[in-house]
Amino acid sequence: MSFNTFGKIFRFTTWGESHGPAIGCVVDGCPPNIALSEKDIQKDMDRRKPGLSKFTSQRKESDKVEILSGIFQGKTTGTPISIIIYNKDARSRDYETIKNKFRPGHADYTYLMKYRIRDYRGGGRQSARETASRVAAGAIAKAVLNKLIGKKFKILGAVVQLGLIGCNKNIWNEKEIRKNPFFCPDKKSVKLWEKYLLAIRKSGSSCGAVIELRASGIPAGLGAPIYSKLDADLTSALMSINAVKGVNIGAGMSVAFLSGEENSDEIRNIKKKIKFKSNKAGGILGGISSGQEIVASFAVKPTSSILSSRETIDKKGKNTKISCVGIRAVPIGEAMMSCVLLDHYLLNRAQCG
Amino acid sequence: MSFNTFGKIFRFTTWGESHGPAIGCVVDGCPPNIALSEKDIQKDMDRRKPGLSKFTSQRKESDKVEILSGIFQGKTTGTPISIIIYNKDARSRDYETIKNKFRPGHADYTYLMKYRIRDYRGGGRQSARETASRVAAGAIAKAVLNKLIGKKFKILGAVVQLGLIGCNKNIWNEKEIRKNPFFCPDKKSVKLWEKYLLAIRKSGSSCGAVIELRASGIPAGLGAPIYSKLDADLTSALMSINAVKGVNIGAGMSVAFLSGEENSDEIRNIKKKIKFKSNKAGGILGGISSGQEIVASFAVKPTSSILSSRETIDKKGKNTKISCVGIRAVPIGEAMMSCVLLDHYLLNRAQCG
Amino acid sequence: MSFNTFGKIFRFTTWGESHGPAIGCVVDGCPPNIALSEKDIQKDMDRRKPGLSKFTSQRKESDKVEILSGIFQGKTTGTPISIIIYNKDARSRDYETIKNKFRPGHADYTYLMKYRIRDYRGGGRQSARETASRVAAGAIAKAVLNKLIGKKFKILGAVVQLGLIGCNKNIWNEKEIRKNPFFCPDKKSVKLWEKYLLAIRKSGSSCGAVIELRASGIPAGLGAPIYSKLDADLTSALMSINAVKGVNIGAGMSVAFLSGEENSDEIRNIKKKIKFKSNKAGGILGGISSGQEIVASFAVKPTSSILSSRETIDKKGKNTKISCVGIRAVPIGEAMMSCVLLDHYLLNRAQCG
Amino acid sequence: MSFNTFGKIFRFTTWGESHGPAIGCVVDGCPPNIALSEKDIQKDMDRRKPGLSKFTSQRKESDKVEILSGIFQGKTTGTPISIIIYNKDARSRDYETIKNKFRPGHADYTYLMKYRIRDYRGGGRQSARETASRVAAGAIAKAVLNKLIGKKFKILGAVVQLGLIGCNKNIWNEKEIRKNPFFCPDKKSVKLWEKYLLAIRKSGSSCGAVIELRASGIPAGLGAPIYSKLDADLTSALMSINAVKGVNIGAGMSVAFLSGEENSDEIRNIKKKIKFKSNKAGGILGGISSGQEIVASFAVKPTSSILSSRETIDKKGKNTKISCVGIRAVPIGEAMMSCVLLDHYLLNRAQCG
């Protein structure tokens, strides 16, 4: 049972509304003796932060992370790590005009149907602001994985499709991806995407995106055969991100179009080491990691707010439309994947030693 | 925690290996006073049964369901329902030749990596035989939903893409879908698919498929905002089916290519009833059902066994290759969706009354 | 899985160390539309607060509760309620002398054995300070039960044994119990207990206590037959309170000394209403509530710190010894019982409607 | 969530009614590569079996265990172990006379209140017959602990109080305890208890009992600080056994009568090894094992059926009254303790490596 909790051994519970005093999370089950500081978390927070580029949310938030428990003399103690992030930009607005409206594509209507009450200020709990807490939890997961697995471990996401325009995914360079405002792996596409997105924005519209995540250094054997399958948990984690509507593992939906020969990742025993000749499976077979790179991707729908005239102008008259919510999903996806992988690492340690 | 258990309130635990004496499941948390017999379950079992057509597994199994507990005088009592299905076709074969081989695309290698031991007879626990237990659990979930929601409730899946060939999805007729061996909604495509699959089989190859599931009559308000999102749980359920590599909710992965206007499901208040003008969201907004039809789809990869010569011939010299594992995934998908919907119905009753 | 989380549907997760900046909890699964303010919670907090009488901890804490989320316009919204309580008296002390010592009866040694690191300042996470968070969660549970069950619902605990001296339990008067510093139901015993405890303190020793809890108005049918038994969950809840070593339901351990006739609660059908002639069972049969008063009791061990000279004097030279930790356990026990009862109320609503 | 499931990592789900065709359990999360046969389990089953002595239930059951899954070539595979025990003595009786009666002290009434339906044949699910499944699960847990911890691990329970008559607990000899029909550690008391129980039976009455459990060889560090406390989980496990009304850890309820000095287990560092001078705490401090012997005890109420004339005579006219249900609780208690200890061993491995 877990309305607002994610994970099995490494678990986090998030809380907070878009326009409440603060948001935060409690991370439980974290292994002890892992070096961790607010700075380690802040680094990832800054990549998700609104207002980073003209293409993402213009909300002004420093997203400063404070750790309230679970760390002693710079190390985790194995007790819950409580993290708080104060909302700075939760300014008092006149919500009277929107409180009885249901924005299309938003959860306004479904929240009211479920709870018969809703905090309509900025979307309340349904706001993507909640994902800040996930990024904090993910940063902790990464620190733990770095300690447990070592430097072989690396997780890196990128936008690979922006609306109608794809990009070259052959080069997956961390430096490049984190440098451009689109988290795009292909520097040749950056200019094109910029033009494309400016045109979309100008027309008052928005576009969707596909994000791809890759994790390397993951040992074989993580996951479980039936209902704790690594791919099922990963998929659930990614589908829980706001605006995500589809998730692929490896070749994903496209396996429907492949023949058995095309889809098969042949196995070779080269110098007593198992080698796969391809990775259509995305590093997961029967719900268990194979030791190959874990590859997942997901689609984020275009911003729903475009039609809603009340959101087009903020108090200073600036256009605050978000043209593509997918961009910010990169660090969130990385965080969720990190949490799932750590969770399964710990689970495997429990059952299989 | 749930290696082999699925669900939160309505939970089932499956057990058994492909070539052990039996397989089965224990369904816990089922509401009391629901009329239920072995016949109700058998009906669904028969739709998943191997050997149904020349296109599915040729294993001979009657898949006869026996209920061992939880029913009294024809009604559920609220205590665990234990179901057992004896394996008939688990004939003793010479497994010496395969016990040290890893079939590509199968979980042979990853099971061994994880557990350092594996039951190699017919794939053991990793075999799709386990899905028979899910269909039994799903039949129980359906019976409960029929009682709780009434006749408005209907769940119906179909194959909508067979390898490279799609079909018309506009007519979604139960009678038609359940009549043809492909679970195809479009009777015009059946002949074509048959030819196509026979050609694939002849060439010794196989193909993938896309299955679509639709549930109607589901009330608004099911799901939970963050980590028990209805779509996240549904996705996880479908991804846990053998050979599934991608899952879509509503428009799914294709939202990446839509504009905000195209993707937005506009809401109208018609005679004091909320009406949506389209259903790109697949009936789920912010992780909560909207009252629209719930629509999900998933891709099943082509059979992995094609390359493995040891599996092409059974003891009677008959070709036992399965050309498309996707077909049998229809009743399995329906079962998983039924379980998720019932689980959220009960969860919602717990929190929101 | 739940290192620091309690409950199934109504769940709370606590965090924080004795001498960290703050402690708190996140309450998840709370039904929506329940009127709730900080004042409602503060009332219960004040009864647990240290420094209330000369017999309890002298730590100076206002224990002021702040709600950070989950409430909108004075009502619960169904989303997580985050509560924070800042530590005021977490003064910087010289811990060098104690950091390598293991206090007998404390968890210093076992924490270090488990985690290989421990926050030794004031006991860190192992401190009874954590129980403040539980009282906050319990206050919320009570507010919900009051709304769902109505005014019939009442939960009231008292100290019924102080060291070697028992008291008359026949009168269970809320006003009396909450008036005296011992939470004693028998006003005649108060003077005696006071003398007794002062003598114990003077001798530098301490004593244990037995607390009894009674809940009335609880409907029949809460609980579950096997591993969510109402009594098992209640027992676990009470045993999780610091210093508790034994738990009884109804007649408890003394059933060993009763004959079948003495222990049997006979049932009569009086004017079409079921009446029990006694309540040895404490209101629970086969793990399910019978509609009678729920009665549980538990024993708290004598303060362990008495032998530890380093704790006898605080910075102002005042004797800070706690002579009986059991007294403060009354509001904590009430809180835990409230949470268990609400949880089972919601669970029952899920399965049985 | 776990109506009929127990445990966190090592989990078992039981199913089956007293007079259904069979009962059984599914054990999930068992580590792989543990040697296990039906014989290993049968040994423990035989100690719980009804009809063992004239003092326990006279039901004729061979309680023959069959393993249906999860074992391959004599070893666990890490997949679910399904166990089935067919009911032999579930003879068809005329239940018309009892179906509308509520036996005092039984769960007849509460089951009906909860579910509005009940399987009244022999108590259905509420029957102590369910505990056979627990003993099977416990036997598996013991086999795993023996492999993981080695021969140091030993768990041994005994009846230490029979009605009004206690016994000497100083000698805790396995051979003696398992030899006499009372599981009594003190051979001098056996004769006395026999006389006492025969007298009680003759008078048509029954008595309660106290069972004590001791586990040695348990490493320090198992358990978790707050809501997965080793003692809380142990208490919940023991309270879930039919007819148990009170549970003690170490000195238990009697700590209320001890002074701080008496209750304190002093710690000494002897030749660089930590030694405790006593064990009032029962081997658990702050919810975490200290490396000392784990000691728990629980009280079982006298048989409730004495007053119910319909149960005094079976079809052959033999008196079938059970004079003391507590005796059979010894192997059940050992089983539950084994499961809890293994579960925490695995949990600790997950979080702390």
Which pLDDT value is given to residue C330? 96
Average pLDDT over residues A110-124: 93
Residues 6-45 of A with CB under 8 A from C: 8-9, 11, 13-17, 20-24, 26, 28-29, 32-33
Task: Single out the residue of A331, A230, A327, A242 nearest to residue A282, CA to CA.
Answer: A230
Assess whether pLDDT exceeds 70 at residue D116: yes
Average pLDDT over residues D287-312: 80
Instruction: Please state, in angstroms and rounded to a whole number, the distance separating the CA atoms of residues D155 and D159.
Output: 14
Cα atoms found within 13 Å of the Cα of residue D334, Cβ hemisphere only: 29
Whether residue D221 lies within 8 A of chain A, CB to CB, comes out as no
Pick from C32, C68, C76: which is nearest to A22 by CB? C68
CB-CB under 8 Å, A264 with B110: no
List chain A residues with CB under 8 Å of D9. Answer: 347, 350-351
C-D Cβ pairs (cutoff 8 Å, strict): 335
Assess whether pLDDT exceeds 60 at residue B270: yes
List chain A residues with CB under 8 Å of C32. Answer: 115-117
Average pLDDT over residues D150-154: 93
Average pLDDT over residues D157-184: 95
- Which of D72, D226, D351, D352 to mutate to test binding with chain A, by most A CBs within 10 Å of its CB? D351
Task: Single out the residue of A142, A168, A167, A143 nearest to residue A155, CA to CA.
Answer: A142
Which pLDDT value is given to residue D318? 46
CB-CB under 8 Å, D233 with C251: no
The complex scores an ipTM of 0.94
pLDDT tens digit string along B31-72?
Answer: 999 999 999 999 999 988 776 677 666 677 789 999 999 999
Average pLDDT over residues A298-326: 62
Please give the share of chain D, as a percent, with pLDDT higher than 90: 74
Q: What are the Cα distances from residue D21, in Å, to B315, D4, D16, D69, D89?
A: 37, 19, 8, 19, 10
Residue keyed to tokens 């998030």: A14
- Which of D114, D231, D297 to mutate to test binding with chain C, by most C CBs within 10 Å of its CB? D114
Whether residue B181 lies within 8 A of chain D, CB to CB, comes out as no
Give the least confident one: A50-64, A177-191, A200-214, A285-299: A50-64
Which pLDDT value is given to residue A145? 98
CB-CB under 8 Å, A3 with C80: yes
Cα atoms found within 13 Å of the Cα of residue B339, Cβ hemisphere only: 31
Instruction: Please state, in angstroms and rounded to a whole number, the distance separating the CA atoms of residues B282 and A105.
Output: 11
Instruction: Please state, in angstroms and rounded to a whole number, the distance separating the CA atoms of residues B298 and A349.
Output: 31
Assess whether pLDDT exceeds 80 at residue A50: no
The shortest C-alpha distance from A39 to chain B (Å) reads 26
Whether residue C199 lies within 8 A of chain D, CB to CB, comes out as no
pLDDT tens digit string along C309-339?
Answer: 434 333 443 444 567 878 889 999 999 999 9
Assess whether pLDDT exceeds 80 at residue A307: no
**Contact indicator for B334, B155 with CB cutoff of 8 Å:** yes
Average pLDDT over residues C34-54: 87
Please give the share of chain B, as a percent, with pLDDT higher than 70: 90
The shortest C-alpha distance from C56 to chain D (Å) reads 15
List chain A residues with CB under 8 Å of C3. Answer: 28-29, 80
Which pLDDT value is given to residue D271? 84
CB-CB under 8 Å, B252 with A245: yes
- Which of A76, A351, A352 to mutate to test binding with chain D, by most D CBs within 10 Å of its CB? A351
Whether residue B347 lies within 8 A of chain C, CB to CB, comes out as yes
Q: What are the Cα distances from residue A124, in Å, to A17, A22, C32, C70?
A: 5, 12, 14, 9
Structure token digits, residue C101: 């010592």
CB-CB under 8 Å, C11 with A77: no
The shortest C-alpha distance from C152 to chain A (Å) reads 26
Please give the share of chain D, as a percent, with pLDDT higher than 70: 90
List chain D residues with CB under 8 Å of C161. Answer: 256
Buried-exposed string C77-116: b where 16+ CB fall within 10 A, e elsewhere: bbbbbbbbbbbebbeeeeeeebeeebbbbbbbbbbbbbbe
